[in-house]
Chain A
Amino acid sequence: MLHSEKISAIARAEGVADYTSDHRVGEDNIRAFGLDVHNPVFAVSGTTIVVFVAFALSYPELAAELFGQWRIALTTRLDWFFMAVANFALLFCLYLVVSPLGSIRLGGPQARPRYGYPSWVAMLFAAGIGIGIMFYGVLEPMSHALTPPLSSEGITGGARRELAMASTIYHWAFHPWAIYSLVGLSLAFFSFNKGLPLVIRSALYPLFGDRIWGWPGHMIDVLAVLATLFGLATSLGFGAEQASGGIAYLFGLPNENWLRVAVIAFITAIALISILRGLDGGIKRLSELNMLAAGVLGAYILVLGPTGDILGGFFQYGAAYVRYLPELSNWVGREDNYYMHDWTTFYWAWWIAFSPFVGMFIARISSGRTVREFVVAALLAPSAIFVLWMTIFGETAMDQYFLEGLQEVAATVREFQPELTLFVFLEEFPLTLATSLLGVVLVIIFFVTSMDSGSLIVDTMTAGGKIETPVGQRIFWCIFLGLLGVSLMLGGGLSSLQALALASAFPFAAIMLLMVVSLHRGLRAELKLLDPVGRA
């Protein structure tokens, strides 16, 4: 008898819910014209995207005003909600680590991980928010050093640097990874242990039962598709502007539309090749290559920068993060609206909007790990990499500004030119052209892995969780994303669509809270059922 059948038999005998369903993967799919897509998620999400994009391009000013107001309302009035949800996600993840629920293995007691830690972490990083290290590694610590949060403009010297680094680490370590872990874990558990389709709605099965295969579930999956596509397309559009800005600066070219379109076309072409190489031959290899290239660039700055300060800073700033964490994560009585709204709430909404995509991708590569292994590794490994990276680049940039009086990097920060900050920073080091080219290559590969994994996930979401879909569908989504990025960039709809992606974070944050209840129920029932058959 299969393990899952044993579990079901015990569940029936002991009257414990085992949360399995008769619904089969791809049951609602339509197979026509060589396609295998979910009815109605594919059609509804596709149509909605086309309508929104057409609106944003036809009436750019109206769309910018309308959606811009959503963005302001979201980051100013719902700051408490996003901060509370992010804190809660982190606390719940820590609870899973210390509770007996952490011993449950994703995929059943006999399952074993299919990827070693280095590849797993590399993919986690590349599909998630790895691109951020390229644009914000120098910019964010410098920005918080110039305008300190927590109404602490008066502090100076080492304390100012500590606060700048702590408030940067707060946005990139632990909290975002707790959000992704929560979604990824929910999907992995209900998919690998309960046999439910790998789609967002499955994570709410214990709460809604078989009704989740109807319209409530359709709406959840459509929302996830919209958040992912809007988020990825706007990232691609803004990213292309940034990458072309860097290329133009390096080679003295005019930063015009043709260069931006060429960047998107190039990224899309490489992503298509990566798609045709599959998960192991494409995303995995590119992610490993990216980690290696990032490691080379980081090591170069570490050696040529203030090495002793950086190594000491890694621990010093880590401790500062822990010390400032209660203040930074508290929204009551705060007056530093610029930091809390324009940075923290924006980031939290953005990470939450991206969580269906990143969470589902993490789930797909995580069968065979225990809940505890999953959460500890997903929280610690990327966070440690971020702290190290931000310390290397942030500490060096702050040294250049505070000790050597160099103003160039600070000028790009004051003018908010993320596309230039890294390259201006690298000019202070030997072999500028080589390191800057490495930077451009890193940016491009990070976008390629995001587009490849994004196409994979959107295809799975719009195919009812089916993995074995015609490869043409994934190619379609990749090209669709590229075209979306180009048209939004040329038509001036990037900010509007970014606001829409952020808006999707609000309902999705509520879904995440339901996921916590649902996952807790599912894991508790699984633990009860595992004891009689042994956890192996």
Chain B
Amino acid sequence: MYQRIGVPVDLEHPETLAKAMATASTLASAFGASLHLVAVTSPSPGAVARNPQAFAERLTAYADECSARHGVIFTPHVRVCDDPAVELDRTLSAAFHQLEVDLLVVASHVPGLRDYVFASNAGWLASHTDLSVFVVR
């Protein structure tokens, strides 16, 4: 049913991704699909890494760790954008379309008051892309 499964990754808070990674790997095994991790950074130094190269290394290490833990291969992809605070969702959407992903597995929090004003990343992706989205709480 699905050939390519995508998972957006927030490397600043990897602890929040455990359930989404487990779900994605189970689905990938069930459908025989490939798994693609996408993380977005900016050219400026950030909390996760000092530059996009170092960020890519961090993501690769995280993908290797997930592959070892779940027994499925996770392929890392980094996208650089100048204003991730605002353009994160659009950058992720463009990346997943470019990778021809057909199912997104997205970790999300229980909606709060703020989500009525600013959509969560998962909420935005579900409302603005034509991809199937699996939201994991």
Residues of chain A touching chain B, judged by Cβ–Cβ distance below 8 Å, are: 2-4, 20, 24-26, 34, 107-108, 110-111, 114, 191-192, 195-198, 275-282, 364-365, 367-368, 456, 465-472, 474
- Cβ of B128 to closest chain A Cβ, rounded Å: 14
In the complex, are the beta carbons of A25 and B46 less than 8 A apart?
Answer: yes
Q: How far is the CA of A114 from the CA of B54 in the complex (A)?
A: 18
Q: Which B residues lie at the A interface, using CB under 8 A?
A: 12, 42-47, 50-51, 53-54, 57, 80-88, 90, 114, 117-118
Q: How distant is the Cα of A468 from the Cα of B42 in the complex, in angstroms?
A: 9
Question: Least Cβ distance of B114 to chain A in Å?
Answer: 6
The CA of A367 and the CA of B41, in the complex, are separated in Å by 14
Which residues of B are found within 8 Å of A34, using beta-carbon distances? 114
The CA of A178 and the CA of B53, in the complex, are separated in Å by 31
Beyond A2-B54, A3-B53, A4-B53, whether A471 also contacts B43 by CB under 8 A is no
Complex contacts, A198 vs chain B, CB 8 Å: 44-45
User: How far is A368 from B44 in the complex, measured between Cα atoms in Å?
Assistant: 11
A470-B82 in contact (CB<8A): no
Known A-B contacts: A456-B83, A469-B85, A474-B85. Give 8 more (CB < 8 A).
Answer: A26-B46, A191-B44, A198-B44, A278-B86, A280-B82, A467-B83, A468-B12, A471-B85
What are 12 A-B contacts defined by CB distance under 8 Å? A4-B54, A25-B46, A26-B47, A34-B114, A191-B44, A191-B45, A195-B54, A278-B83, A280-B82, A280-B87, A467-B83, A469-B85
Taking chain A's interface residues, is the majority helix, strand, or loop, or is none over half, making it mixed?
loop
Report A-chain residues with C-beta under 8 Å of the C-beta of B12: 468
- Quick check: A466 and B47 within 8 Å, CB to CB? yes
Evaluate whether A468 and B50 lie within 8 angstroms (CB atoms) in the complex, with A278-B83, A279-B87, A365-B82 already known.
no
User: Would A471 and B87 count as touching, CB distance under 8 A?
Assistant: no
Q: Which residue on A lies nearest to B49, using beta carbons?
A: A195
Is the Cβ of A277 less than 8 Å from the Cβ of B85? no
Q: Which residues of A contact B47 (CB under 8 A)?
A: 24-26, 466, 468
Chain B CB within 10 Å — which of A365, A465, A468, A474 has the most? Answer: A468
* Bound CA span A24–B43, Å: 15
Are the C-beta atoms of B84 and A468 separated by less than 8 Å?
Answer: yes
Name A2's contact: one of B44, B57, B114 (CB within 8 Å): B57
Knowing A278-B83, A467-B84, A467-B85, say if A367 contacts B43 (CB, 8 Å). yes
User: Within the assembled complex, what's the spacing in Å between the Cα atoms of A139 and B84?
Assistant: 41
- Asked whether, in the complex, the Cβ of B44 is within 8 Å of the Cβ of A364, the reply is yes
User: A467 contacts which of B44, B57, B90, B117 (Cβ < 8 Å)?
Assistant: B44
CA distance A367 to B54 in the complex (A): 16
B32 to chain A, nearest CB (A): 35
* Among B54, B57, B82, B86, contact of A471 (Cβ-Cβ < 8 Å): B86
Known: A3-B53, A4-B51, A195-B45. A276 touches B86 (CB 8 A): yes
Q: Which residues of chain A are within 8 angstroms of B50 by Cβ–Cβ distance? A: 4, 20, 195
CA distance A111 to B12 in the complex (A): 24
Q: Which of A110, A114, A468, A470 contacts B46 (CB 8 A)?
A: A468
Across the interface, do A114 and B82 meet the contact criterion of CB distance under 8 Å? Answer: yes
Residues of B within 8 A of A470 (CB): 85, 118
Q: By the criterion CB–CB under 8 Å, are A192 and B84 in contact? A: no
The reply to whether B51 and A195 form a contact with Cβ atoms under 8 Å apart is yes
B114 in contact with A275 (CB, 8 Å): no
**Ordered nearest first, which 9 A-B pairs have the shortest CB separation?**
A195-B50, A278-B86, A279-B83, A278-B87, A367-B43, A26-B47, A278-B83, A467-B42, A195-B45
